[in-house]
């Protein structure tokens, strides 16, 4: 085991949901630091956009919720690079809905994408992460830490991901693997469009977010990406089990 000290130029990172938003910025940030990046998502076109002009980024079209999907992603990293230093569980979906109006079509994909897939990916990656002294970075949310009426299932998946982060940090510490999370606030990404919100609804959400963000603006994906690469860096070698808000102060307001 090389205890997380591999130079950036030798590091291999898997980033899920890398075709857009925070995942795209994260893939590019790792690549800019010299790492080789496997950029995972369901749609090929956005992944290729992410990789365009970034030769260290390799797109991998894969559904993390598909049977055998997590294992295929890890196998691809192993066959291409022989190692894995960083797993970023970033892919996530939001399907709103208040209790009373929830259907399995709204509940199941959120649990499959935001919770079960990160578990199976982390599990599949364990041998490679242990060999590398690697890091798992989970992407949670700072919105909904207290309550999130209308998006309770989404918030519940993210809260669970934070508990997994703390639990795995303790479980995996003896194996030399660190586990951390970032909790973004309101970030400028297409997540609202992917949720199917109308432009009017997105504008209303944006207004609410601005009113509840002390720094008074929406964050950029690159600002979350920087927190992810810093937490994943060998320089953060004594940091594990933390959830770092990247939210303009929203969670403490």
Candidate ranges 12-20, 121-129, 170-178, 230-238; the one touching ligand NAP (CB under 6 A): 12-20
Q: Could you give the residue numbers annotated as active site?
A: 154
Among positions 198-227, residues that touch ligand NAP (CB under 6 A) are: none
Task: State the sign of the Cα–Cα–Cα–Cα dihedral 6, 11, 12, 16.
Answer: positive
Whole-number Å distance between alpha carbons of 6 and 216 = 38
Total residues in contact with ligand NAP, by rule CB under 6 A: 30
Among positions 163-202, residues that touch ligand NAP (CB under 6 A) are: 184, 186-187, 189-191, 194
By the rule CB under 6 A, 151 interacts with ligand NAP: no
By the rule CB under 6 A, 149 interacts with ligand NAP: no
Using the rule CB under 6 A, which residue among 13, 23, 58, 162 binds ligand NAP? 23
Phi, psi of 249 (to 5 degrees): 90, 5
For ligand NAP, the closer of residues 108 and 130 by Cβ is 108
- Cα dist. 23→15, 29, 33, 180 in Å? 6, 10, 15, 16
Residue 147 has a CB neighbour count (10 Å cut-off) of: 8
By the rule CB under 6 A, 17 interacts with ligand NAP: yes
Return the SS3 of 150: coil
Candidate ranges 5-13, 15-23, 145-153, 225-233; the one touching ligand NAP (CB under 6 A): 15-23
- Cα dist. 47→20, 27, 215, 222, 244 in Å? 8, 10, 31, 17, 26
Minimum distance from residue 216 beta carbon to ligand NAP (Å): 16
Query: Dihedral through CA 107, CA 243, CA 170, CA 154, nearest 10?
Result: 0
Minimum distance from residue 184 beta carbon to ligand NAP (Å): 4
By the rule CB under 6 A, 116 interacts with ligand NAP: no
Instruction: Kindly give the residue spans of alpha helices, DSSP state H, lying in the chain.
Output: 21-32, 44-51, 69-81, 104-111, 117-132, 152-172, 191-195, 199-211, 221-232
For ligand NAP, the closer of residues 131 and 197 by Cβ is 197
Residues that bind ligand NAP (CB under 6 A): 16-17, 19-23, 40-43, 46, 63-65, 90-93, 113, 139, 141, 143, 184, 186-187, 189-191, 194
């Amino acid at each position: 085991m090389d205890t997380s000290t591999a130079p950036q130029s030798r590091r291999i990172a898997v980033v899920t949901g890398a075709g857009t938003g925070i995942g795209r910025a994260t893939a590019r940030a790792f690549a800019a630091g010299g790492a080789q990046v496997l950029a995972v998502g369901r749609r090929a076109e956005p992944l290729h956009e992410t990789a365009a002009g970034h030769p260290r980024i390799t797109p991998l079209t894969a559904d993390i919720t598909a049977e055998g999907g997590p294992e295929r992603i890890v196998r691809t990293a192993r066959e291409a690079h022989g190692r894995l230093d960083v797993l970023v569980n970033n892919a996530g979906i939001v399907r709103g809905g208040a209790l009373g109006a929830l259907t399995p079509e709204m509940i199941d994909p959120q649990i499959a994408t935001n919770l079960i897939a990160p578990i199976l990916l982390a599990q599949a990656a364990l041998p490679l992460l242990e060999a590398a002294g690697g890091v798992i970075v989970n992407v949670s949310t700072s919105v909904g830490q207290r309550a999130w009426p209308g998006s309770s299932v989404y918030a519940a998946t993210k809260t669970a991901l934070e508990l997994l982060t703390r639990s795995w940090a303790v479980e995996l510490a003896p194996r030399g693997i660190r586990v951390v999370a970032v909790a973004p606030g309101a970030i400028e990404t297409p997540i609202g469009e992917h949720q199917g919100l109308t432009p009017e609804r997105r504008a209303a959400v944006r207004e609410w977010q601005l009113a509840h963000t002390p720094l008074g603006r929406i964050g950029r994906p690159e600002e979350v990406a920087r927190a992810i690469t810093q937490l994943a860096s060998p320089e953060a070698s004594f940091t594990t089990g933390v959830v770092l808000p990247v939210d303009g102060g929203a969670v403490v307001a």
